[in-house]
Every structure is written in structure tokens, then in C-alpha cells.
Structure 1
Amino acid sequence: MSSAPFITPLTLKGEHTTLEPLAMSHAEGLSEAARDGELWKLWYTTVPHPDGMKAEIERRLGLQAAGSMLPFAIRRNDTNALCGMTTYMHIDATHRRVEIGSTWYAKSAQRTAINTEAKLMLLTHAFESLGCIAVEFRTHWMNQQSRAAIARLGAKQDGILRNHMRMPDGSLRDTVVFSIIESEWPAIKRHLAFKLGR
């Protein structure tokens, strides 16, 4: 089965946020978003420094060209400002699985409806348009904020990949793996809609 449906760029628009196909034209706005909270200083994440934003966009677009990632820029609808990035990654069209990851948000967008709605749109597309049987989320063991946010979505922890990868600073990352499976999606969709007041 071809992975083409996964790697076809598309725009997902909601009430609070819009996910746009990532493009080089987003570099300046995403650099400003990363400065909101100086996110690159968090050692347990890999948020690009504003000066490296163009290179990070090029990297993600290269993975898109190779068929392993579908990257988005995240725009908040109230101000029209860019406020982060997210992707479908580790695309497995044969087994109908994707990971939602490489996600970061400007500090002012964190713990708002923006993340909940973005995840609702990405999950809806994955399960209802792409026919996924599971969607994964992965994060650093030390990233307590990310782990809590994933759990709040309704995802279940599958396990921990110890010494899974080396971070840019040379430290080793234990990766916590979460997932939502197809049979859980209807209840989680209702849960996320309820959180958004729908």
C-alpha cells in the first residue's frame, strides 16, 4: 500500500488553530514563536534555536520528500501568528500507523485550547481519513509537561524505550511511548470535543 495519502500536504482548520503545510516562508514567524519562552534552552527537547529555524524546516521538508514525515506549521487563529510546529512522522502505510510528534509550541500557546484542537484535528484525519489502526506519541522521560499533556489527551502509555537515542547535548534519552488505538478513538474524540466545549 502506498504512503501517498500520508504525505500529501493538507491544511486542517479549526476554531482556535490552523495547521498549514510547512514551508520555508514560515521561518521568520516560527523563529519568533521559539523566542516566546526561549524554548531551545530546554535541554530535554529539540526545539530549534531561532537562528537554526530555516535549517530545521529544510530538514523536515527533506523527510517529507522521502515519505517519512508530513510537517505542519501551527497558526493561532485569534492573532494569526505562528505558534509552533507538529508532524505526522514514522509513517507506516502498510500497517496504517503514524506518530504525532516533533511538536513544540510558543510558551504563550501552551496549556491553551490550541494544542487540544490541533491534536483533535490530527487524530481525526489519521483515524477517519487515513484509516489508521493506531497513532503513537513519544516524548523524553524527563519532559513531565509533555507526558502529562499526552496523558490528558487520553493516550495510554505503552512502555519506555531506555537509552533510546542520544540528544544533541550528548545525553541519552529514555523515550516514553504512548498510543491511541482505533477502538479507543470514538471515546477520545468525544473527550477532546468536551474539553473544547463542543
Structure 2
Amino acid sequence: MFIPSGPLQGQHVLLEPLQREHTAALQQAVTDGEGWKLWYASVPEPAAMPEYVERAMLGAEQGNLAYAVRSLASGEIVGCTRYYDVDTVNRRALIGYTWYADAARRTPINTESKLLLLGHLFENAGAIAVEFRTHFFNQASRAAIERLGAKQDGVLRSHQILADGSIRDTVVYSIIASEWPAVKNNLLSRLAR
């Protein structure tokens, strides 16, 4: 497998490979903020969480690794994130399907989660690029991706039909291996503040 599996731990978060046992905690976490009500976000409703976890676990068999995000301060599961569309031949992957409980937002959790995921991808898996995608209207997500140091590659217009029938324009960002040292320094600096 291109990306080694296993937990990733920092000072603030533990990224645990997603298991069925995380389902109830994720159902609880997603109720904090009710992210599924944002029409431009892909956050599962609590009732849909068992299927969400099952699909993520099936994806892991193809190298698309999903993680439950545990806050080390509280011990609680506060969200979810994953590598997906993993391209072993070209040593690329996307990071996404990321959502957090409201209590985890504006904390070091997302910054450190991205530091762990990116570091693992570039330093342990030898990736040449990572990609992020988000809805054109998801300004919070776009700002967070840009704060990482990712560069916008473009917009895939009329890219996807969403569950409500609306058509999504997808903004594509990337970080390439040569940019990783500067991105890493940026993330470490942000965590130190």
C-alpha cells in the first residue's frame, strides 16, 4: 500500500484508523454544530453515520485511509478526515471528507491534523503531491485550505450533482513535495502560537 496505515499522534490530536466502534462517538460529535445542514458541505447526518463509516472502511481496502479525530485534551472523538482517491502509481492523494464538532473548531485540532496527514504523506509515503477539493461556496473550507499554504489550481465547473439537485463547482488546491518544508514550517509556527 502506498500510504502506511496506522494511527497518527501529535500533541493535540490522535488520528485513529476509522472503525465501526467510532460510529456512536461520531454521531455525537456531528450533532455539535449540525454541519449536515450546510447545503454546500458533505457532512453526514447522525442517522447516516453507520453507512458513512462502512463506506469509509470499504475505501480503506483500496488504500483510502479514513480516521476518527480524537482530541487529546478531552479524550473525545471530535470529527473525521481521510485520504481518498489515492493514486499509488503517481504518488498522489486527496485529503478531505473532513468535518469537526463545533467545539473543535478554532482550536489547534485541524492544524495539527493536517500537519500529521501531510507529514505522513510526504515524509513516510514519498508523495509528490496532495490535493484538496471543496465547494466553491464553502468559504470557511477554502480559507482553511489556503491557510495551510495550498495553492489554488483551478475550479472544476459544474463538477458534481449534489443530493439536493444543485450543481457544485469544485475548487481544487494542491501542495507539491517541494513546497512541503515551507508548509510544514507554517503549520508548526501556527501551532506554537
The alignment's TM-score, normalised by the length of structure 2, stands at 0.98
Matched, 1:12 2:8: yes
- Kindly provide the CA deviation profile for residues 60-103 of structure 1, in whole angstroms up to 9, marking residues without a partner as x: 111112x1511000000111100111000110011100110111
Unaligned runs of 5+ in 2: none
Percent of aligned pairs sharing the same letter:
52
Q: Which residue of 1 aligns with 2:111?
A: 116
Aligned residues: 193
Work out the CA distance in 2 between the residues paired with 1:85 and 1:20.
Answer: 9
- Partners of 1:24 and 1:44 lie apart in 2 by 27
1:177 CA displacement? 0.3
1:47 paired residue number: 43
2:168 & 2:63 partners in 1: Cα distance? 22
Give the superposition deviation at 1:39: 1.1
Q: What is the RMSD of the two structures over their aligned residues, measured on CA atoms?
A: 1.0
Give the gaps of 5 or more residues in structure 1. none
Q: Deviations over 1:95-141 (max 9, x none)?
A: 10011011111111112100000000000000000000101000000
AA of the residue aligned to 1:17 = V
179, 190, 193: which one aligns with 2:188? 193
Quick one: which of 84, 107, 126 aligns to 2:102? 107
Question: Structure 1 runs of 4+ off > 4 angstroms?
Answer: none
Q: Is the 8 A contact 2:2 2:63 kept in 1?
A: no
* Counterpart AA for 2:42: T
- The match for 1:164 is 159
